[in-house]
């Protein structure tokens, strides 16, 4: 029976020769993830199971990133619960302040995920690891609790959407523009409970940062997961970060797809998702001047070194616009250090921006950049729902690091092509 990439991984992890869309399966897991918001709920549920130990202390990870460094007493108590649990259960991969980073940037960086893995996380953007050729998806905290106990999870095998990439991105255009373009075409439910499988000769021109960003936002199209074909770029990244030996799965020639979408990367333009849905994608020329109050460059979508380089290139030698607050958040400590050594942090600070410790912070309206009523932000994060970054009467515009940087120096939503041609 012909299968997609995702179906092959799920078949292998459920001990079956084949699976098909719609089947319910029980699959073994290679990694179970939680953060400081979702893990406390899972820990309480785990206690109700009456288990003395987790299924494998090396295959569970908790990352303190959403409200860390702790913003208030409740956040401190949540992190303490995670810290105590991981200490008691001798969890190998517990990441707290000083070692932590934004979870979906940290885990690939640490080599904790490899191609062919099956991964769940109590965070919707766990689909990020599909960029590495893994099946990864977000689940609820109760599912996380059961997975910590038995190392397995139930899945309904998803059907699939095939996305064929051709061409090559133009300068100052990135993976963020690609995924906003795709979501703009198919909508926030265009891939509902499907696997978005990326293939085509255009893959070779996408960096790993591009792919991680695209896979991260598959859930914003309603997808169960996003997954990329494994190629030389993937294997080089896995080797560099010390991941275990990959298991490479390719879709069969006769695999069934609900839909095939062809995307010419060379035709993609800098793209912005307007409030209050990621599907409200517009390119420059489709809207008039929009003044802004804040810019955020960071998150699990766009806080990697490549993203900071793209922003710094545009901001170098320029000043942030008056009355625009610009917040830069490297996604991990390693990225922070590399950005410092390259002089990127100096560029940001000299331009008038502030640089934060790694944290999810403003992305979910947690801390480090909350919006007041009537304020607008351009941000490289992944969601712009009502009240996502603060007051329900604020507005969030999603964009790439290049667009965010251009907006920071102009004080309005601006294209990097405009700023760099000046």
Residues 48 and 132 both lie in one domain: yes
Q: What is the pLDDT along the chain (422 residues), one digit of tens a residue?
A: 899 999 999 999 999 999 999 999 999 999 999 999 999 999 999 999 999 999 999 999 999 999 989 999 999 999 999 999 999 999 999 999 999 999 999 999 999 999 999 999 999 999 999 999 999 999 999 999 999 999 999 999 999 999 999 999 999 999 999 999 999 999 999 999 999 999 999 999 999 999 999 999 999 999 999 999 999 999 999 999 999 999 999 999 999 999 999 999 999 999 999 999 999 999 998 998 999 999 999 999 999 999 999 999 999 999 999 999 999 999 999 999 999 999 999 999 999 999 999 999 999 999 999 999 999 999 999 999 999 999 999 999 999 999 999 999 999 999 999 988 75
Instruction: Select from 265, 300, 315 the last residue of a domain.
Output: 265
What are residue 281's DSSP bridge partners? Answer: 273
CA dist 99 and 94 (Å) reads 9
CA dist 235 and 146 (Å) reads 32
**Can you list the alpha helix ranges (DSSP code H) found in 316-399?**
333-341, 344-351
Residues 146 and 175 both lie in one domain: yes
Question: Residue 354, Cβ neighbours under 10 Å: how many?
Answer: 14
Residues 41 and 93 both lie in one domain: yes
Instruction: Select from 204, 238, 265 the last residue of a domain.
Output: 265
Residues 150 and 187 both lie in one domain: yes
Residues 260 and 290 both lie in one domain: no
Q: Which domain holds residue 277?
A: 271-421
pLDDT at position 1 is: 85
Residues 258 and 278 both lie in one domain: no
What SS3 class is residue 118?
Answer: strand
CB–CB of 394/374 below 8 Å? yes
Provide the CB-side half-sphere exposure for 282 (13 A, CA).
16
Residues 338 and 242 both lie in one domain: no
Residues 237 and 98 both lie in one domain: yes
Q: What are phi and psi of 323, to 5 degrees?
A: 70, 15
Residues 284 and 243 both lie in one domain: no
pLDDT at position 422 is: 54
- Report if pTM > 0.75: yes
Q: Is the peptide bond before 383 cis (omega within 30 degrees of 0)?
A: no
Q: Which residue has the tokens 């997961």?
A: 225
Instruction: Select from 242, 265, 288 the last residue of a domain.
Output: 265
> Helix, strand, coil proportions of the chain in percent (round to 5)?
40, 20, 40
Residues 112 and 206 both lie in one domain: yes
Residues 248 and 285 both lie in one domain: no
Give me the number of domains the chain comprises: 2
Residues 165 and 294 both lie in one domain: no
Q: What is the CATH number for 27?
A: 3.30.499.10
pLDDT at position 116 is: 97
CB–CB of 135/30 below 8 Å? no
**Environment class of residue 316 by beta-carbon count within 10 Å: exposed (0-12), middle (13-18) or buried (19+)?**
middle
Structure tokens at 294: 């804040």
Q: Sheet harboring 135-138: ordered strands across?
A: 93-95, 60-63, 31-35, 118-121, 135-138
């Amino acid at each position: 029976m012909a299968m997609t990439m995702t179906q092959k991984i799920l078949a292998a992890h459920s001990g079956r020769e084949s699976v098909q869309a719609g089947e319910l399966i029980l699959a073994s897991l290679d990694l179970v993830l939680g953060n400081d918001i979702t893990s406390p709920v899972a820990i309480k549920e785990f206690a109700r199971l009456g288990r003395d130990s987790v299924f494998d202390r090396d295959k569970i990870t908790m990352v303190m990133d959403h409200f860390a460094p702790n913003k208030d007493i409740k956040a401190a108590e949540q992190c303490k619960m995670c810290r105590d649990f991981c200490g008691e259960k001798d969890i190998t991969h517990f990441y707290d302040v000083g070692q932590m980073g934004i979870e979906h940037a940290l885990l690939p960086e640490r080599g904790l995920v490899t191609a062919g893995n099956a991964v769940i996380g109590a965070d919707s953007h766990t689909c990020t690891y599909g960029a590495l050729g893994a099946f990864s998806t977000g689940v609820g905290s109760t599912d996380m609790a059961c997975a910590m106990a038995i190392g397995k999870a139930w899945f309904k095998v998803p059907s699939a959407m095939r996305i064929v990439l051709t061409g090559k991105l133009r300068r100052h255009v990135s993976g963020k523009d690609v995924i906003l373009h795709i979501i703009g075409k198919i909508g926030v439910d265009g891939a509902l409970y499907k696997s978005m499988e990326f293939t085509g000769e255009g893959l070779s021109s996408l960096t790993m940062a591009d792919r991680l960003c695209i896979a991260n936002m598959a859930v914003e199209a309603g997808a169960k997961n996003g997954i990329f074909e494994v190629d030389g770029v993937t294997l080089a990244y896995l080797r560099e970060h010390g991941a275990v030996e990959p298991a490479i799965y390719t879709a069969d020639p006769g695999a069934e797809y609900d839909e095939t979408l062809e995307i010419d990367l060379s035709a993609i333009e800098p793209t912005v998702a307007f409030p209050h849905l990621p599907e409200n994608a517009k390119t420059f020329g489709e809207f008039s001047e929009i003044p802004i109050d804040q810019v955020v460059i960071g998150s699990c979508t766009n806080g990697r070194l490549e993203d900071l380089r793209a922003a710094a290139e545009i901001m170098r030698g320029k000043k942030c616009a008056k009355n625009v607050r610009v917040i830069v958040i490297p996604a991990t400590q390693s990225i922070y250090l590399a950005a410092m050594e390259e002089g990127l942090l100096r560029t940001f600070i000299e331009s008038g921006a502030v640089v934060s410790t790694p944290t999810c912070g403003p992305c979910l309206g947690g801390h480090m950049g909350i919006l007041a009523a009537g304020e607008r932000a351009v941000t490289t994060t992944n969601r712009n729902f009502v009240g996502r970054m603060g007051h329900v009467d604020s507005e969030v515009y999603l964009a790439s690091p290049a667009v965010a940087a251009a907006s920071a120096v102009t004080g309005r939503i601006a294209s990097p092509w405009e700023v760099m041609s000046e």
